[in-house]
A and B are shown apart, each in its own frame.
Chain A
Amino acid sequence: MIGPSQENVSDVGQVKFRDPAKARALSAALARLTREIGRDTISVMHVCGSHEQAIARFGLRAVFPPALNVIMGPGCPVCITDVPEVDEGVVLARQGVRIATYGDMVRVPGSAMSLADAQADGARIDVVYSVSQAVDLARKTDEEVVFFATGFETTAVATAAAILAGPPKNFSVLSAHKYIPPVMEIVAEMPETRVEGFLAAGHAATITGWGIFERFVERHGLPVVVAGFEPLDILAGLVKLLELIREGRPAVANMYPRCVTREGNLRAQEQLFKVFRPVGGCWRGIAHVPNGNLRLRDEFASFDARQRFRIDLTTLWDFAPPALAQRCICGDIMAGIASPNDCELFSKECVPERPVGACMVSNEGTCKIWHEYGGHPNLAGVL
């Protein structure tokens, strides 16, 4: 008989980080802690698309106590790439430069069009999965290849390593890399958000180390908990965060010790800052973030697309901005002051196949995640 063998159907209950009994205990702890804190609303923020993915995928919001408001902040690297940065890529592409970038970036709307629209008009866009693929592409051709680099410090490290490894002369980088710690400072002070604590992204902290948050905690008096991405990691991280809030103790806690140390990956940090320097710049929807953008240092000017090419954004002025985009509230969603349900376009005019805003493009975007996992209906009372 043709068909699967039947031996290896797994007993999911044994998977280490997927233990529902532990999850129930942690959910109960969340309920107890919110009662003890005693306020109607306790808002905390995470800054990572992977955290939102896990929260939505496992339906965790249905077990959060009603008073606990877990907000997704600016944690989607595709989403926070600013419109003028997308425009720079589009202008370069329309000038005939070959653009290599991550798949999601191709569909992110700019002020006039996306890279996908430019491609439909004849521009050369290559989707790559890593910077090394973009370097390989440059090696195989005489054409100018610009890697449109997006992502936080985690992906910026890979870009830095590629530049230090000596890429071919026809390769350059249009950096839209962003640095998470500075934006937390901005969001912490935004009056509308009233966040009482942060859940920091475990993977970014493997690079930066958890020590980087100590100064933040001192400055803002808000606790920060570093958490991983399994459902139990997130629940345990939130329990720790609520404990710190209840005690009124602003401190850093590392709930992802299997990956994150105090100092982080020193070699990666060294490479990152050898190639990049933090400069102030805008994040889509957030604001100007001092030290939030990573730009190539002058020593690497020959690999800096901004130095190498004249990028004239006025060439896009003739194009009318897409009409629906005026009604998109991605900016407020990324700042954590609105949710996808507040948007009149969400899951109607704006769907993953035809995204109006950046948050519906990326798998790390709040709107895309909510859309994919059935929105956020109240399921607390079922059964």
Chain B
Amino acid sequence: MTTRAVLLDERITLKHGAGGRAMRALIENVFARGFPKAAGEEVGLAAMDDGAALRVGGKLLVITTDSHVIHPVFFPGGDIGRLAVAGTVNDLAVMGATDAPVLTCAVILEEGYPRSDLERIQKSLRETCLEAGATVVTGDTKVMGKGELDGIVLNTTGVAVTERVVSDAGLRPGDRILVTGTVGDHGFAVLAARRGLELEGRLVSDVAPINGLVRVALAAGGAAVSAMKDATRGGVASALHEMASKSGVGIVLEEMQVPMRDEVRAASELLGIDPLHVANEGKAIIGVRPEAADRVLDALRAHPLGRDAAIIGKCIGDHVGSVILDTGFGRRLLTEPEGELLPRIC
């Protein structure tokens, strides 16, 4: 749908929260208007990146915030607590801020919510923080009446300091596109849990903090790492479209090189849902200058969370803003997911 039609919508629909074009248009045209630039702002609202970056002293302070509305709250491979920490830590990491992230945690609960579930979520928050080298330093608690909210909503804000911010707009023709592991795991795991799908093998979410993995890539690639983005809502397809249009390049994606678990492939063929359109919660897309691509790939693969990392494409100078999918049999344009495939995926 065209941006114009999205603008004409008088009411918010689920697609406006889907991470795709409709959401970007809503942010651009409603939220991101009229705020002055912050002091020391290097990356602000207008960049529509994974977070913001402010120059403080000689360093850059990266800030991001996330709300979590996933249903079900507990799903194969994780829960809302793990998701909140991983989502926030990963947004900071793909901006280049991988060390010692500090989080806030605000929770909104529905009256009658079981205390045992809350304790389970708190434990998960704590353990995931430990994994990420992160911690929670402040928070907020609100309770709403029965039926005024579905269970629990979490909001986490994260801050971390870095020397160099990596944006999602730095791709150049010739750059290689890397993905840090298998694609589609989170989306299909949540979908299967929600619909009670019985599929061979187990669909398990990939939700994990990957700041350690991104750190390894940055150490190996240095300035040759040209752009990064985490492939959450809207999946790899949305992430690549955004990177391509902001960077002013085209991207050719080699479908056969995209790592994917057999269970995900089977579920996608069965349900007719493209794994490239589905959310990941522990995967980054990394653009690297061609000469450093193999070096970064080796470094990723040596990390326990990066064993399935792969080079999946490259940037070209024409077809700007488009993602061309080479299927191994032919070529077509990869579209961004349009409506909302899976509301409340994260």
Contacts and interface: CB of A to CB of B under 8 A. Distances in A.
A382 B324 contact: yes
A383 B325 CA distance: 12
A363 B272 contact: yes
B308 A6 contact: yes
B333 A374 contact: yes
Contact of B338 (A13, A352, A373): A352
A63 B330 CA distance: 6
A10 B328 CA distance: 16
A63 B329 contact: yes
B328 to A, nearest CB: 4
Given A12-B256, A351-B1, A374-B335, A4 B261 contact: yes
A371 B338 CA distance: 10
Given A18-B328, A20-B328, A60-B329, A4 B77 contact: yes
Interface string A343-382: 0000010011100000000010000000111110101001
Contacts of A351: 1, 338
B265 interface: yes
A8 B260 CA distance: 9
A2 B331 contact: no
Interface residues of A, number: 40
Interface of A is mostly: loop
Interface in A35-69: 56-63
Interface string A106-130: 0000000000000000000000000
Interface string A230-253: 011001000000000000000000
Contacts, number: 117
Most chain A C-beta atoms within 10 Å of own C-beta, residue among B82, B307, B331? B331
Nearest to B319: A382
A61 B330 contact: yes
B305 A3 contact: yes
B327 interface: yes
A2 B324 contact: no
A9 interface: yes
A160 interface: no
A3 B212 CA distance: 15
A72 interface: no
B252 A2 contact: no
Given A10-B265, A352-B338, A353-B339, A2 B329 contact: no
A23 interface: yes
B338 A353 contact: yes
Given A58-B329, A61-B330, A382 B252 contact: yes
A1 interface: yes
A274 to B, nearest CB: 33
A160 B106 CA distance: 58
Interface string B269-289: 000100000000010000000
Contacts of A373: 332-333, 335
B316 interface: yes
A9 B258 CA distance: 10
A28 to B, nearest CB: 13
A175 B138 CA distance: 64
B77 A3 contact: yes
B261 A59 contact: no
A232 B328 CA distance: 11
Interface string B317-346: 011000011111111111100110000000
Given A2-B78, A9-B260, A348-B2, A379 B331 contact: yes
A59 B260 contact: no
Nearest to A379: B331
A96 to B, nearest CB: 31
B26 to A, nearest CB: 16
A61 B263 CA distance: 29
Contacts of A56: 332
Given A9-B259, A13-B256, A351-B338, A59 B330 contact: yes
A310 to B, nearest CB: 39
Given A1-B208, A3-B282, A363-B272, A59 B332 contact: yes
Most chain B C-beta atoms within 10 Å of own C-beta, residue among A235, A348, A382? A382
Interface of A: 1-6, 8-10, 12-13, 18, 20, 23, 27, 56-63, 231-232, 235, 348, 351-353, 363, 371-375, 377, 379, 382-383
18 contacts: A1-B131, A1-B304, A2-B207, A3-B77, A3-B207, A3-B208, A3-B282, A8-B261, A8-B263, A9-B182, A9-B260, A12-B260, A23-B328, A235-B329, A379-B331, A382-B319, A382-B331, A383-B326
Query: Nearest 4 pairs between A and B by C-beta?
Result: A374-B333, A59-B332, A59-B330, A20-B328
